[in-house]
Structure 1
Amino acid sequence: MERLNGRLAEHVIVVSYDAFSEDHFNQAKKLPNLQKLVADGVHTTKLKSVNPTMTYVVHSTMVTGVYPNKHGVSHNNPLQPFVKANNQAWHWYRDDLNVPTIYDVLKANGLTSAGILWPVTAKSSITYNLPEVVAINGENQALKVLKNGSPLYCLGLELKYGQMRKGTSQPYLDDFSTACAVDTIKRKQPNLMLLHLIDLDDTKHAYGTQNQAVDAVIERMDKRLGDIIKATEEAGIMEETVFIVLGDHGQFDVRFKVYLNNLLKQHGLIEETNEWRAYFQSTGGAAYLHIKDGDKEAEAHALAIMNDIVADSKYGVKKLYKRAELDELHVEPSIHYMLEATKGYSFEDDLSDEDVVDLTARGEKYATHGYTTEQENYRCNFIISGKNIKANAQVGEIEMVDVAPTIACILGVKLNGVDGRSLDEVFKDN
């Protein structure tokens, strides 16, 4: 390996291709830009995510190299019982993480970073930061971005490219994000670029995992990758750049939505006033049981209800996890019980008129994630290509905790206390 200034490459561009899982790799790799990255680099379709397989949880692991039980982000949202989804706060802020990130270490070593809609980065140390934050409860979106990102940088991007967006609708949002990334690569040439693209995830949620809408996204994504590669060429940095393209989780098609909190309410653990002693917070493919502090009676009652739910096939519960098993999954330690859904089922937080809703009977399509990582056909794709990376090679199973240590190795910095390892097998031999 050739190292200059202690680095294998001067630039790393990470494209988080949200929901890019093994079931769509063969389709995507036939398209010209991903095909080139695969041919010039190393890939696997066996990137193992972390539990629960939710975007903010996984992206926190990508930049810290540790499991959720250490970094502290256990869900997209802090617990907010009975708050409607569009009014819920998310784990937007860097302070929600308990450990150092790769971009913190880069800053400490005099290197630069950029983030475009990367989760859990509001008010972070990223040099050029357009964070993923959303206005709720009457907030102003533009002001929230400026307050939590790099103000002049964000303002400049908004003035140049803001007209491309139509709220959070796709494909406009990812086209905007890609334009911002291209502009940043050309003008700022950061040592690390973190780009989060959401089009595929949004489309799978809305239409299911296999349809023409998903096919169209995969085509769009390849064009976006091409725009990013071209930007490095025009900036004169392509020969000193490593590209990483990876998914964060898979998705499964859902026929039945199950409203678990209905059952707690029927048994008196949730009141008509929405006062609660026990509450299920859904991850989609699983649900955490929360108990009011010290309420042992409610815990025993809820455990009995969960055992009944598991025994009744109509609720689609695959397994009840207790704390010892959650330790093995590296789930955040405040969670004592979790139910996982069977494929074809998902869990919802809301109270509903029906305990179980058949989406097929309603003519609806839906897919989701949040299941445990130990599922067939649920691994993610990982492609790494560029300076000092082997060509046309494959690796086997790797883990999401390996991403940050690998970036650190490429950029010649030390990220301490990680659970993962640097993927040294992807680098060219000396």
Structure 2
Amino acid sequence: MKYLFLARAVTLLALFIAVPNSLAAKWKAQHVVLIGMDGWGAYSVEKADIPNIKNLMENGAYTLKKRSALPSSSAINWASMFMGAGPELHGYTEWGSKTPEIPSRELNQHGIFPTIFQVLRDAAPKAEIGCMYEWDGIKYLVDTLALSYYQQAPDYNKYPTALCDMAINYLKEKRPVLTLVAFDNPDHVGHAAGHDTPEYYAKLKELDGFIGQIIQATKDAGIFDDTIFILTSDHGGINKGHGGKTLNEMETPFIICGKNIQKGLNFSESMMQYDVASTIAYIFGLKQPQVWIGRPMKQVFK
């Protein structure tokens, strides 16, 4: 017990050093873990064997009707998730956009549209902020210069547990303020075997196990009680593709659970992809850039 107390004391001391006490006092939680699963359609949740995810839903707040920006493809929607605005403003318009096809309406000091990572960095210059991902395209959208750490996992086909292992080690070692873990599945399975197939649901079950391990890592790190978990996706899919205007392609889950979050709330208010960044900004008491159009989902908080 004394070792657990000592670990928590060290955690609090490290956070105090990294983040001014006056700022941290305004936060809904001292840690946010954002987990994204590429190609995870909301249509799948009811049928999937995903006990860890469903436990977050039961003990937190959620909607299965968050809509992607159009087209319902990857880069445009990861960008919208991180940048608090749609493609008309951030300028990333295609599946694999690495730079904006439309000039961004505004650029930050790093020459990229303002992201949640940089907004937090501006407010807390010494905060630990990290990003781990499988799809190479993520690094073009997060503003890596705003991060303390970022790393792509090795080939999933050879090392399927690598990203989960990286996230576990990072959470235990650094106890970050904001962490992004971006899984590239179930998108690959959706393209190969199809959405709403046995293979697709098997992949969701596997990822659910990874999510359980990531949650456990926050417990091992002594930060679980002061953490908010957000679980969401860039887009869904239909048959073996996505990018269109069907609800199976556009509707994705948004699940939020943890400190100061309502329990068992299936909220009915509309939510868009860019509202994710605004909700994280609200957790940390940040003023969002004027160019953002996202709205925080204030109803999910106690």
TM range (shorter): 0.7 to 0.9
In structure 1, the residue matched to 2:185 is: 199
The code of the aligned residue for 2:149 comes to Y
**Rounded Cα–Cα distance in structure 2 between residues aligned with 1:215 and 1:123:** 33
Task: Pick the structure with more strand per residue.
Answer: 1
CA RMSD of aligned residues (A): 2.2
Q: How does 1:370-381 map to 2 (within 5 A)?
A: 370-372=243-245, 375-378=246-249, 379-381=251-253
Q: 1:205 Cα deviation (Å)?
A: 0.4
Are 2:133 and 1:112 aligned?
no
In structure 1, the residue matched to 2:297 is: 423
In structure 2, the residue matched to 1:102 is: 116
**Rounded Cα–Cα distance in structure 1 between residues aligned with 2:276 and 2:144:** 23
1:394 to 254, 261, 266: 266
2:149 to 128, 131, 134: 128
1:76 to 95, 114, 118: 95
SS in 1 for 2:117: helix
Q: Which consecutive unaligned segments of at least 5 residues does structure 2 have?
A: 1-22, 101-106
In structure 1, the residue matched to 2:285 is: 412
SS in 2 for 1:398: coil
Are 2:13 and 1:25 aligned?
no
Q: How does 1:140-159 map to 2 (within 5 A)?
A: none
**Rounded Cα–Cα distance in structure 2 between residues aligned with 1:169 and 1:422:** 37
| C-alpha contact 2:237 2:248 (8 A) present in aligned 1 | no
The code of the aligned residue for 2:123 comes to N
In structure 1, the residue matched to 2:254 is: 382
Q: 1:198 Cα deviation (Å)?
A: 1.2
| C-alpha contact 1:60 1:119 (8 A) present in aligned 2 | no
Query: Bigger radius of gyration, 1 or 2?
Result: 1
Deviates most, 113-122 or 67-76 = 113-122
Q: How does 1:2-17 map to 2 (within 5 A)?
A: 5-17=25-37
Q: 1:75 Cα deviation (Å)?
A: 1.2
Identical aligned residues as a percent: 29
Q: 1:91 Cα deviation (Å)?
A: 4.5
SS in 2 for 1:422: coil
The TM-score with structure 1 as length reference comes to 0.58
SS in 1 for 2:85: coil
| C-alpha contact 1:71 1:97 (8 A) present in aligned 2 | no
SS in 2 for 1:370: coil
The total of aligned residue pairs comes to 263
**Rounded Cα–Cα distance in structure 2 between residues aligned with 1:199 and 1:208:** 12
Are 2:73 and 1:54 aligned?
yes
Q: Which consecutive unaligned segments of at least 5 residues does structure 1 have?
A: 79-89, 132-161, 254-366
SS in 1 for 2:75: helix
The code of the aligned residue for 2:28 comes to L
Sort the Cα spacing of 1:4 and 1:103 in 2 relative to 1 into closer, same or farther, 3 A. closer
**Rounded Cα–Cα distance in structure 2 between residues aligned with 1:398 and 1:371:** 19
The code of the aligned residue for 2:296 comes to S
The TM-score with structure 2 as length reference comes to 0.81
**Rounded Cα–Cα distance in structure 1 between residues aligned with 2:46 and 2:75:** 26
Q: 1:124 Cα deviation (Å)?
A: 2.8
**Rounded Cα–Cα distance in structure 2 between residues aligned with 1:42 and 1:116:** 25
Q: 1:427 Cα deviation (Å)?
A: 0.3
**Rounded Cα–Cα distance in structure 2 between residues aligned with 1:415 and 1:126:** 18
| C-alpha contact 1:8 1:410 (8 A) present in aligned 2 | yes
Are 2:242 and 1:369 aligned?
yes
